[in-house]
Amino acid sequence: MTEKKVRVRFAPSPTGPLHIGGVRTALYNYLFARQHGGDFIFRIEDTDSNRFVPGAEEYIIESFQWLGLAFDEGVGVGGDHGPYRQSERRDIYKKYVKQLLENGKAYMAFDTPEELEAKRGEIANFQYDATTRMQMRNSLSLSKEEVDALLASGHQYVVRFLIEPGVEVDVHDIIRGEVVINSSVLDDKVLYKSADELPTYHLANIVDDHLMEVTHVIRGEEWLPSAPLHVLLYRAFGWEDTMPTFAHLPLLLKPEGNGKLSKRDGDRLGFPVFPLEWHDPKTGDISSGYREKDYLPEAVINFLALLGWNPGNDQEKMTLDEMIQLFDLSRCSKAGARFDYKKLVWFNHEYILSKSDEDIAHLFEPMLRERGINEEFERIVKVVSLMKGRVNFVHELWDTCCYFFQAPESYDEKSLKKWWKEPAVSNTYVSELCDFIENAPVFAGAEIEPLIMEWIASKEWPVGKVMNAFRVTLVGAAVGPHIFELTDFIGKEETLRRARRALDVLPEA
RNA sequence: GGCGCUUUCGUCUAGCGGCUAGGACACAUGCCUCUCACGCAUGGAACACGGGUUCGAUUCCCGUAGGCGCUACCA
């Protein structure tokens, strides 16, 4: 076999925001293409004019930009196999439909939707196939004159694929092995509609994959039942020798309950199902997105990569480059995977940890500005270095460390209950500690800490009680970093100001 | 209903005839410690069921059951 350049495609329908399952499918295609030095093509499958949603295509493109997955060819990128929008390829499809018709591989059907509906009511489990097609109105059952008359009168029609019954169709799938199905269970699929002069998915898909020289079709399992039909189409065109290899990926399932992950689940269960926030142009509904919810794209990618695939060792955290090295379609699992977003949260935490303090500070900075905090960047970096390990999301940084930037306005009930339960005593501790700090020759934490510890010991006071009372006055609660990290950051003046203000406000007895 | 795919801890999964069935998330406990976290350590937790094949099945085959998908002039 000659070594053909690997070419794969991601071909969404612009009917709304990109589903997270679609993102995973695209990711696997991307990894496969990169690993083999091949091309990753972006095609828009807009053959259903009724379902077109404005903005969807732009949304999809922006999503991949955010995720960091770049296409080599396709809509918005260009290439030698265009156009890449199926609605712009009408003439190409027409030519191939004609070819099928002329070769007797397909036929015209004039049945109206109402007639089909009636037939379905009449016959249980009605299927348009070898057993029924002669009872219908089509170019097989009608005389040439009748057909010509219908066409002349402008009657709309569809072109159906003529499925020969009783053929064992073998689909080779990288993930599932051989899948054999008898053609008798297939129906004469509609390939083309005269009404809008557009093909349906099945025809457009085969023609485009052939013309675009796609070598591997990596898609969701929902396509497995129609894979035999696709094989038959390649055969009908005489393209079986260059037919792409199939790989049907397991589906993404809801975290709980039954069924596959759907558009509705996300906001109901508390996590997004779309990469970016989506504003529905018709209903005005807003669906949350990972980007807006503060997930790092690296975390989303890493998590998604492991939903249905694993590198065969215990490694879980991987860069995109490592994934490209390790990816292997034959190591994909076959059963559907529940979408466990708790693990995604953990990945986000891990990626916050592994990113530089500067990178995280850049993300955190606008959130501070929004709150009117105009701290200099270097100081934000300092806070991030101290606190980033404690959060799962960058936005949680504010709640976790706002006291670095502003004095507490109130004092946490529980903390007071524990560390200020004898107000007179706590008052004495903090008040005397303030005096000690004020008169100490040094202030830097590293230098003053031993002095303070020594002093507390000389007083025979309990260290924990003194330090936590002190902490509550500075932070407003019994939380936070090592206390001298905080005093270093806010400085001597602010330290004493906060502590003394608390002495004024907090109960003394 | 028909057709197809699928089945290891709660979840994601490793395993490709012989293992104390491994890892990760989550959970629990402990350690660290001026607090809260982080981190670290430890622990509980799984081969759907029934037949075969075999000296031996989580692993191979066949059923059953469950899960999932498809069954449009949607993709």
For chain A, give the percent of residues with pLDDT over 90: 89
Q: Is position A150 within any domain? A: yes
Which CATH number does the domain housing residue A171 bear?
3.90.800.10
Residue at minimum CA to C1' distance from nucleotide B36: A479
Which CATH number does the domain housing residue A483 bear?
1.10.10.350
Q: What is the pLDDT of residue A509?
A: 58
Q: Is position A433 within any domain? A: yes
Q: Is position A396 within any domain? A: no
Short-list A39, A22, A30, A42, CA closest to A83:
A42
Q: pLDDT by residue (tens digit) across A188-209?
A: 999 999 999 999 999 999 999 9
- Picking from A195, A229, A249, the residue at the C-terminal end of a domain is A249
Q: pLDDT by residue (tens digit) across A117-160?
A: 999 888 888 999 999 999 999 999 999 999 999 999 999 999 99
| Angstrom distance, A345 CA to B7 C1' | 27
Residue at minimum CA to C1' distance from nucleotide B1: A125
Residue A133, domain extent: 89-249
Q: Three-state SS string across A192-250, please?
A: EECCCCEECHHHHHHHHHHHCCCCEEEEEHHHHHHHHHHHHHHHHHCCHHHCCEEEEEC
- Picking from A190, A217, A249, the residue at the C-terminal end of a domain is A249
User: ipTM score here?
Assistant: 0.96
- CA separation for the pair A268, A288 (Å, rounded): 11
| Angstrom distance, A185 CA to B61 C1' | 26
- CA separation for the pair A26, A30 (Å, rounded): 6
Q: pLDDT by residue (tens digit) across A351-370?
A: 999 999 999 999 999 999 99
Q: Is position A141 within any domain? A: yes
- Chain centroid offset of residue A382 CA: 32
| pTM listed for this prediction | 0.95
Shortest CA–C1' contact from A185: which nucleotide? B3
Task: Please give the tally of structural domains in chain A.
Answer: 2
- CA separation for the pair A288, A350 (Å, rounded): 22
Sheet containing strand A39-42, strands side by side: A7-10, A39-42, A73-74
3-state DSSP assignment of residue A456: helix
- Picking from A249, A275, A310, the residue at the C-terminal end of a domain is A249
Q: Is position A43 within any domain? A: no
Q: pLDDT by residue (tens digit) across A260-278?
A: 888 878 778 889 999 999 9
Shortest CA–C1' contact from A222: which nucleotide? B69
Assess contact for A304 and A23: CB atoms under 8 A: yes
Residue at minimum CA to C1' distance from nucleotide B10: A256
Q: What is the pLDDT of residue A427?
A: 93
Q: Which two tokens stand for residue A41?
A: 């093509």
Q: Is position A362 within any domain? A: no
Q: Is position A439 within any domain? A: yes
Q: Is position A105 within any domain? A: yes
